[in-house]
Chains A and B, each alone.
Chain A
Amino acid sequence: MEVDTGKLNSIVQKYNGDKSYILAIFQDIQRIYRFLPKEAIKYTCEQLDIPFSKGYEVATFYKTLSLKPRGKHTIHVCLGTACHLRGGPNVADTFERELQVKIGDTTGDDNFTLETVNCLGACALAPLVRVDEQDFGKTTPGGVKSIINEFRNGE
């Protein structure tokens, strides 16, 4: 895929081309594309003057970075301890079934990517589901459909 080198340059510049900020640079790039394109890693590594393998290692080490394209909406089902105990796994299963994707994958229409996380810090509302920036607390398998519909129709 083509990456916008102008945008990448300005991100690298924001950190003065300092290679110790590679993680922050990747995170900022990911905010543009919703994932981290390989071409962007390659380009950034050239700008920072580090080998591609090193950049790739960093990109694959950290969980918040994704090398796979994501859909329009990302659904995060929390499977942290509190959410696990209060039925998070059932909620995750229901999302898999309703969307007909496995965790980590994107629906055929590119609308949803289903992911899990290990705690979003609102454990009192377990089980928690976050779609993009919006949180849904105390979710149940029965409520999954309406969450999906809210983003499917409401856009």
Chain B
Amino acid sequence: MSVVELDRIASEYNNKIEGFQKIIHICTGTGCVSSGALKVFNRLRDAIDSEGLTEKVLVKKTGCHGLCERGPIVVFGNDEILYQTVGKRNVEDDVKLLIATIKDDQIAEKLLYRGDDKTKRYVSTHDIPFYSGQTRLVLALNGIIDPEIIEDYIVHGGYRALVKALSMHRDEIIEWIDKSGLRGKGGGGFPTGVKWRSCKTAEGSPRYVLANGDEGDPGAFMDRSLMEGNPHAILEGMIIGAYAIGSNQGYIYVRDEYPLAVERLSKAIGQAREYGFLGNDIFHSGFDFDIEIFRGGGAFVCGESTALMTSIEGQAGEPRAKYIHTVEKGLREKPTNLNNVETWASVPEIINKGWEWFSSIGTELSKGTKVFSLVGKVNNTGLVEVPMGMTLKEIIFGLGGGIQGGKKFKAVQTGGPSGGCIPEEYLEMPVDFDSLTKLGSMMGSGGMIVMDERSCMVDVARYFLKFLVEESCGKCTPCREGVRRMYEIVDRICSGNGGEGDIEHLEELARAIGLGSLCGLGQSAPNPVLSTLKFFKEEYRIHIEEKKCPAGVCKSLITLHINPEKCTGCMRCASECPVGCITGEKKQVHTIDQTTCIKCGNCYDVCHFDAVTIE
């Protein structure tokens, strides 16, 4: 195989699709599938069939396009027209609209994306602020290629980097990765080139390369979208890495809860083998390499490097002490190089375009881009990829379009259970590995969870502690007992039983757990508490001393009332109350029976007249 042959494959595929006058991309990422994308796909295909347009219009299934909140997303051509929430109200109507636009080349106004002021309509993705503010390197082909067709990846430049890399000296490849400044995207931000070099020079054989697609981080889905949307980029990166490091066997660790990712990766591996990109004597270079998928079992700790390796060995995935680095003695005690899937997917473009190109993006110490899953109380939830160093404000208010329902921004949580909450005063801060760490948070895998005034920071701390109590493997006492103890204290504070000394006790425990734990889970477990204490101590104090929850979240500390002055008697709250404790006649003031109210806050959320108050 050579570039010439790749070009031949590409042009054959191009010939096949050349006859089509239109190409329609339907996002079948998890988000859009959940909103009904498959129904839209099937209906549209049928309609195209019955209109006799099958020869003219190609409908493609793609991975996540990013704007998941507005799914199902349908894109015409290469980003020329973006239709959103297609089929959300009525599949038949929307499919009819699309067919009409195909036939007369008009634009279906109704399905276009609208801006904040609801008047401006955007046509192309290039104009929508959510997309125009991004720099898509890793996600460039997500939403464009059909992840189940390898030729589509090849048409878009796929596997060229592999050909190039095989003509390079192994050390030169590592040199490039090193000089590009690529740092691991799985959490720690460790320099990738340094890791590769130490693995290559470590004693022992065989050597393994592993991809971490565990993504146990709640609220994060970028790795999933990448595995589902562009699996070949991950494979190509791994093959290049394996060649450079001198490995013949790779594994991708994917959680079992991600069945679509497993399926697409398996298909991709099968196709890559058929073309000889995997297997023996790849491109007649004498280099053998193959990849297997290992399905994880939904344990957060298995994302940790040593636990992941133990898990692949067929045991309960408990971490080991890292006196010896895994690059020297990892999987089956052999030299092992583990990288996150996004890290691997960054490799082909660095080889294609050169390290200088990559290192020209980003900041001094954090090069390139990072994919974030922007979720929570933000308008445009979804996936964004931005150059390192973009500010939080640009991401949340620029790309994300600000806070839902016009509410006030309160904090953004980054880094998942190992990270922390960042308050408003740091919104201008550039997002890179080091500045987040300085604030007591973390880049982590890239979850960015936006909170508004209705989010209680003490409750958030309790949420993460509960998660970590459940996920601690229990091997070491500070983590097993200490995190539980922290949870009990914070839980007590949330139920109105907090007392003097609780905060000091939390801080003391945090220090002990951080120092005494074996793996990263325990070492970083106190972070969500420490960072909320650092920036929102007043909120803790109000919970403890005044027995109140300012955000109106902690159930034991709130009561809900209906303000008779404002209530119009629209009956909405009564029909939405899950326990039926609201009574009142039409056009009359409603009242809440406090003895049966479960304080779910549903009435508050549904009332259009601000008549429900939380105290």
Footprint of B on A, CB under 8 Å? 18-24, 27, 54, 57-58, 61-65, 79-87, 90, 93-94, 97, 117-126, 128, 135-137, 140-142, 144
Residues of chain B within 8 A (CB-CB) of A82 are: 218-219, 375-376, 381, 449
Mind listing 24 A-B residue pairs with CB under 8 Å? A20-B312, A23-B296, A24-B295, A27-B297, A54-B315, A57-B315, A62-B299, A62-B316, A80-B218, A85-B376, A85-B449, A87-B605, A90-B601, A93-B598, A94-B578, A94-B600, A97-B579, A121-B224, A122-B68, A123-B68, A124-B382, A126-B375, A141-B602, A142-B575
Residues of B within 8 A of A121 (CB): 30, 215, 221, 224-225, 257-258
Interface assignment of B314: CB less than 8 Å from any CB of chain A: yes
B467–A118 contact, CB under 8 A? yes
A135 in contact with B377 (CB, 8 Å): no
Interchain CB contact under 8 A, A124 and B33: no
* B residues near A64, Cβ cutoff 8 Å: 255-257, 297-298
B602–A80 touching, CB < 8 Å: no
* Interface membership of B477, Cβ < 8 A: no
Q: Given A64-B256, A135-B34, A137-B34: A124 and B467 within 8 A (CB)?
A: no
- Whether B312 lies near A85 (C-beta < 8 A) is no
A124/B295 contact (C-beta < 8 A), A61-B316, A93-B600 known = no
Cα-based distance from A19 to B297 in the complex (angstroms): 16
Docked pose: A94 CA to B580 CA in angstroms: 12
- Min CB gap B449→A, angstroms: 5
Contact flags B192-207 to A (C-beta < 8 A → 1, else 0):
0000000000000000
Residue among A18, A20, A62, A81 making CB contact with B447, cutoff 8 Å: A81
For the complex, give the distance between the alpha carbons of A125 and B72 in Å.
11
Whole-angstrom CA separation of A137 from B31 in the bound complex:
9
Which of A57, A90, A94, A124: most chain B CB closer than 10 A? A124
- 19 more A-B residue pairs beyond the given contacts A54-B315, A140-B576, with a C-beta to C-beta distance below 8 A: A20-B314, A23-B314, A58-B314, A63-B298, A63-B299, A80-B219, A81-B463, A82-B376, A87-B601, A87-B605, A119-B219, A120-B30, A123-B221, A124-B71, A124-B375, A126-B375, A126-B381, A141-B578, A142-B578
Q: In the bound complex, how far is the Cα of B451 from the Cα of A97, in angstroms?
A: 28
Contact A124 B316 (CB under 8 A): no
**Beta-carbon contact of B600 and A123 below 8 Å:** no
Q: Complex Cα distance A57/B315, Å?
A: 8
Asked if A61 and B449 sit within 8 Å, CB to CB, the answer is: no
Known contacts A140-B602, A142-B575: A122-B30 contact under CB 8 Å:
yes
Contact of B31 among A22, A83, A125, A140 (CB under 8 A): A125
Considering the complex, give the chain A residue whose CB is closest to the CB of B450: A85
Chain B residues within 8 Å of A80, by CB = 218-219
Q: Are A81 and B295 in contact (CB under 8 A)?
A: no
Chain B residue with Cβ nearest A26: B297
User: What string of 1s and 0s marks CB contacts (under 8 Å) between B24-39 and chain A?
Assistant: 0000001101110000
Contact partner of B381 (CB less than 8 A), chosen from A20, A97, A124, A140, is A124
CA distance A20 to B317 in the complex (A): 12
Q: Which residue of A lies closest to B69 (CB)?
A: A124
B580 to chain A minimum Cβ distance, whole angstroms, is: 11
B377 and A84: CB pair below 8 A?
Answer: no
- Minimal beta-carbon separation of B36 from chain A (angstroms): 9
* Closest beta carbon of chain B to A134's beta carbon, Å: 9
Chain A residues, Cβ within 8 Å of B221: 119, 121-123
Residues of B within 8 A of A117 (CB): 257, 298
Q: Which residues of B contact A144 (CB under 8 A)?
A: 578
Tell yes or no: B336 within 8 A of A by CB: no
Q: Known: A121-B30, A140-B602. Is A84-B315 also a contact (CB below 8 A)? A: no
B496 CB to nearest A CB, Å: 18
Question: A122 vs B217: C-alpha distance in the bound complex, in angstroms?
Answer: 13
**Chain B, 420-460, CB within 8 A of any chain A CB:** 447, 449, 451, 455, 460
List B504-550 residues whose CB lies under 8 Å from chain A: none
In the complex, which of the residues B35, B257, B296, B602 contacts A125, with contact meaning CB atoms closer than 8 Å?
B35
Residue of B nearest to A30 (CB): B256
B416 at the interface (CB under 8 A from A): yes
Measured CB to CB, the closest approach of chain B to A71, in angstroms, equals 19
B311 touches A141 (CB 8 A): no
In the complex, whether B231 has a CB less than 8 A from a CB of chain A is: no
> What A residues does B600 contact at CB under 8 A?
90, 93-94, 141
Chain B 291-317 interface 0/1 with A at a Cβ cutoff of 8 Å (1 = within): 000111111100000000001111111
Chain B residue with Cβ nearest A62: B297
The one of A24, A57, A61, A123 that contacts B219, using a Cβ cutoff of 8 Å: A123
Q: Is B216 positioned at the interface, with any CB of A under 8 Å from its CB?
A: yes
Please give, as numbers and ranges, the residues of chain B lying within 8 Å of A94 by CB-CB distance.
578, 600
Chain B nearest Cβ from A122, distance in angstroms: 5
Question: Does the CB pair A22–B300 fall under 8 Å?
Answer: no
* Alpha-carbon gap, A118 to B511, bound state (A): 27
User: Is B612's beta carbon under 8 Å from chain A?
Assistant: no
Alpha-carbon gap, A80 to B464, bound state (A): 10
| Pick from A65, A83, A85, A122: contact of B377, CB under 8 Å | A85
Q: A141 contacts which chain B residues (CB < 8 A)?
A: 576, 578, 600, 602
A126 vs B220: C-alpha distance in the bound complex, in angstroms? 12
Given A81-B413, A140-B602, the answer on whether A61 and B299 have CB atoms closer than 8 Å is yes
Any A CB within 8 A of the CB of B142: no
Tell yes or no: B248 within 8 A of A by CB.
no
Shortest distance from the beta carbon of A130 to any chain B beta carbon, whole Å: 8
Given the interface contacts A119-B217, A122-B34, does A61 sit within 8 Å of B224 by beta carbon? Answer: no
- CA A93 to CA B602, docked complex, whole Å: 13
Residues of the A chain whose Cβ atoms lie less than 8 Å from the Cβ of B601: 87, 90
Nearest residue (CB) in B for A119 is B218
**Residues B300 and A118 in contact, CB atoms below 8 Å apart:** yes
Answer whether A27 and B30 are a contact pair too, CB < 8 Å, given A81-B449, A93-B600, A120-B257. no
